[in-house]
Structure 1
Amino acid sequence: MSAAKATPQPLRERNKQLARDVVLDAAERLLEESPNAEFSMRALAVEAGVGFATPFNHFGNKNAIMQALSSRLIERMATRFREEEPEGDAIDRLLAMGRISVELLLEKPTVHKAVVGSLGVAGPHPSSVHQHSGKLWSLALGNFSGIAPDMKDVAQAILANQLAFHFRGCVSFWIAGELQDEELGNAFEAGACALLLGFASPRRRNFLIAKIKSLQRAS
């Protein structure tokens, strides 16, 4: 018996997503071209080739557009991780996710600093970025291999969120200029290894301790 075909997305929904992507692509271009990584909603509509009301109709306001850009950035991190298919246990995979995510941020640092930095601005509605970030680190942790059996339940309950908080903290210091581009990856790795020490199996603890010491010597 042949596998059931996926239900195609309705045309209206496809057109809606296309319009959103056009607006988000235009916002990224304007952020990259602007010396201050800024744009006006009017300039955004012109760049996207849509009516002035279209960005408002699809997002509501500029802050929501920046939140959508941040969520899309996280989706790109996940896509690259899946494409690379890192080998190893949860610890190896998690460190690979950190490397992939930092590399992506550094491809367009000015744009990504503006996008992530905008999340500190309160809006009328909570964003879903934290939720997406937690899912990113859950993807990296996979089946939690390398985690001590007696700590697996606790790790499954809290570790992805704690890693999301840690990554966001490192990126916030990077945005503020307190971490340089070349320091961001090591800062994340050191903190991630420290977090994992409380969960790792005895065999993997030695690796984490050696990794932390190596990062300290490199700093």
Structure 2
Amino acid sequence: MSGETGVAALSLRDRNRQAAREGVLDAAERLLQRSEDADFSMRALAAEAGVSFVTPFNHFGGKTQIIQALSARVIGRMADRFQAHKGKEDAVAGVLTMSRIAVGLLLERPGVYKAVVGSLGVVSPAPSAVWSQSRDLWAIALADLSGLAPERIVGKAEIAAQLAVGFRGCLSFWIAGEIPDEALAQAAAAASAAVLLGFAEQRRRAPLLKVLAAGPRPEIGG
């Protein structure tokens, strides 16, 4: 077998493997969508995907890893939608656009995405990569950092990491029912604005303060 043929064969194997993984993830999303308690068993997953019981384990390792893969897939969809937006925006507008796009995607299938994000909070033997993946998503929105004050003393990665924390906090309260679907966009935008206020140019601060003030808040005294 020539080296070139071997590369082509490996590429085909990789494509088949990726297709199998995507098929399992598609099946997991369908089960989450149909389930009353937004859950699934590994046996039901294999049946839904039309594969053997061991196939999901072989590709992912277990249910926790499948949920993490679903999370990475959602983050990837958010990034794709943002890139398709192609707006000429500074970092402030870019972050608020990313927030709007991300919330819009989540609200398309809230039952599925609440289950995915909520399951990420379960203790697992090894930490996931969700925070770093989320940080990278917000770094895309920050782009070249235009609109942020040049005298800031931290870089894109640090700001993006805190934007990820703020967004995840909103999702936690959303999953718990404290932020209703109709208020999630405002809550996420306000969380992003709160982070950006520490770094925005003076001319961008007043609009951010308005976004922050428009965000929902819990009732006094619960």
TM-score normalised according to structure 2 size: 0.90
1:204 deviates by 1.0
Q: Determine if the alignment matches structure 1 residue 195 to structure 2 residue 195.
A: yes
Structure 2 residues without counterparts, runs of 5 or longer? 1-6
Equivalent position of 1:38 in the other structure: 39
Aligned residues with identical type, % of pairs: 56
Equivalent position of 1:10 in the other structure: 11
Give yes or no for contact 2:183–2:216 (8 Å, CA) kept in 1: no
Q: Determine if the alignment matches structure 1 residue 181 to structure 2 residue 181.
A: yes
Q: State how 1:198-209 maps to structure 2 within 5 Å.
A: 198-209=198-209
Equivalent position of 1:102 in the other structure: 103
Equivalent position of 1:212 in the other structure: 212
Between the aligned partners of 1:24 and 1:62, the Cα distance in structure 2 is 11
Whichever residue aligns with residue 54 of structure 2, its letter is A
Between the aligned partners of 1:187 and 1:204, the Cα distance in structure 2 is 19
Equivalent position of 2:91 in the other structure: 90
Equivalent position of 2:3 in the other structure: none
Give yes or no for contact 2:42–2:63 (8 Å, CA) kept in 1: yes
Structure 1 residues without counterparts, runs of 5 or longer? 1-6
1:144 deviates by 0.2
1:209 deviates by 2.1
Q: Does the C-alpha gap of structure 1 residues 215 and 37 become closer, same or farther in structure 2, counting only changes over 3 Å?
A: closer
Equivalent position of 2:115 in the other structure: 114
Between the aligned partners of 2:40 and 2:144, the Cα distance in structure 1 is 42
1:48 deviates by 0.4
The farther-off stretch of 104-113 and 125-134 is: 125-134
Whichever residue aligns with residue 47 of structure 2, its letter is V
Between the aligned partners of 1:117 and 1:212, the Cα distance in structure 2 is 25
Whichever residue aligns with residue 179 of structure 1, its letter is I
Equivalent position of 1:168 in the other structure: 168
Q: Does the C-alpha gap of structure 1 residues 157 and 14 become closer, same or farther in structure 2, counting only changes over 3 Å?
A: closer
Equivalent position of 2:4 in the other structure: none
2:38 partner SS? coil
2:123 partner SS? coil
2:179 partner SS? coil
Equivalent position of 1:66 in the other structure: 67
Q: Does the C-alpha gap of structure 1 residues 214 and 112 become closer, same or farther in structure 2, counting only changes over 3 Å?
A: closer
The CA deviation string for residues 31-60 of structure 1, in whole angstroms up to 9 with x for no partner, is 101111111111111110111100000111
Between the aligned partners of 1:157 and 1:70, the Cα distance in structure 2 is 20
Instruction: Provide the aligned length of Structure 1 versus Structure 2.
Output: 211
Between the aligned partners of 2:15 and 2:51, the Cα distance in structure 1 is 17
1:196 deviates by 1.0
Whichever residue aligns with residue 203 of structure 2, its letter is R
Between the aligned partners of 2:157 and 2:58, the Cα distance in structure 1 is 37
Between the aligned partners of 1:53 and 1:216, the Cα distance in structure 2 is 46
Give yes or no for contact 1:26–1:48 (8 Å, CA) kept in 2: yes
